[in-house]
Amino acid sequence: MKVLENGNGISKNGVGIGLGNFDGLHIGHMSLISCLFKECRKRNIVSVLYSYKRHTDEVLKSKGHTPQILTLEKKKELLEKTEIDYLYLEDFSREYANLSPEEFVSGILVGKFGAKVVVAGFNYTFGKKGAGDVELLMELGNKYGFECFIVPPIKIGKEAVSSTLVRKYVKKGLMEKVRLLTGRYYSIYGTVEMGRQIGSTIGFPTANIIPEDYLVIPRSGVYVTRTNLDGVLYNSITNVGHNPTFGELKKVSCETHIFGREGNLYGKRIEVFFMAKLRDERKFESKEDLCAQINMDINAAREFYNAL
C-alpha cells in the first residue's frame, strides 16, 4: 500500500474509491474495504481508500472535538495488512468543507481520481454540512458514470457497529466489547517517560506513557494488558488514571508493569494493548495496602492469560 497526498493521475484506467473517516477501522470499515477490493479486482482497476490527515471535527467544531480511536501511525499500520493499493490522505480544510456535494463528486472523485467505482457505508454523508447522503451519491454516480456500492450496517446483537459505539465502550472500559467491534485489542502508543519512580520503590516498576490528547482513553482503572516492547509481546497490567494514592497527577497516565522485563526503559517506544478491566482506580490508605492489591491484580491477570 502506498500513502498519497496527491491523487492526480494514479491510473489512466480509473480507480475504485472507498469513502469515510475510517476512525477506528472497525469490522464495518473492514467490510467496506473488502467490498472495494473485490469490485476493483473484478474490473482490474486500482483501489484507493480516501481518508483524512485529521478528523473532520477538528475543523468543523471550535470545541468538543470527537476523540480519535487511532493515531495516523496506527491507521497506516493496520491498512498495510489489507490488500488496498493506495491510502489517500486529504487535508481537510475550511475551503474543502465548503464544497457542495456535487462539487466534491465532480471535482475530486471524478476530476482528480477518475473514479469508476465508489464504495461507501450506509450512513455516509459528504459535501457542505453533510448535505449529501448515499442516495445522492448513487444519483451522482449515474450522472458522472461511476458504479456505487453501499455497504449495509454490521450488527452485533441489536447494535450497529460504528466508531461512536467503539468510543463508548473504550470510555466505559469494556475492552472485550471493543475487541468484538474492531477485531483486535485497543492499544495506545507512547514513549516511556521518567515518572516519580514510585513503582520501583515498592517493588513494581512501571513503564509510564502519556497518551496523545486527541485519543479516546479507557476509563480510569487497572487493566490486563499486553505490551509490545522491541517487537516482543509481554504480559502486563496497566493503571490508567491519576495515581491518587501518591498525590494526583494532572494528566492521565498509563503506568504499565511488564511481567519478566526489568531494566531502564526510558525513551523506548511501547504499545499497550488493553484486554480486560480488573478494577477501578482508587486511593489506598498505605503503601502496604497498595502492594497487596497489586499482587492480587497480577494474580488475576495471570488467571486471565491462563484461561485464553
Mean pLDDT (the chain, rounded): 90
- pLDDT at position 7 is 64
Ranges of CATH 3.40.50.620 domains, the chain: 2-156
Confidence label for 182 from pLDDT (cuts 50, 70 and 90) = very high
Q: pLDDT, tens digit, for every residue of 149-158?
A: 999 999 999 9
Architecture of the domain defined by 2-156: 3-Layer(aba) Sandwich (3.40)
- Rounded to whole angstroms, the Cα distance separating 112 from 118 reads 14
Ranges of CATH 2.40.30.30 domains, the chain: 185-307
- 304 has a pLDDT exceeding 70: yes
- 102 has a pLDDT exceeding 70: yes
Q: What is the CATH number of domain 185-307?
A: 2.40.30.30
Higher pLDDT, 304 or 92: 304
User: Mean pLDDT over residues 48-67, rounded?
Assistant: 74
Query: Coil, helix or strand for 215?
Result: strand
User: Mean pLDDT over residues 13-31, rounded?
Assistant: 94
Q: Are 15 and 108 in contact (CB under 8 A)?
A: no
Burial class of 245 by CB neighbour count within 10 A (0 to 12, 13 to 18, 19+) = middle
Phi then psi for residue 239, to 5 deg, are: -100, 125
- 55 has a pLDDT exceeding 70: no
Q: Are strands 186-191 and 46-52 parallel, antiparallel or unpaired?
A: unpaired
- Rounded to whole angstroms, the Cα distance separating 16 from 37 reads 8
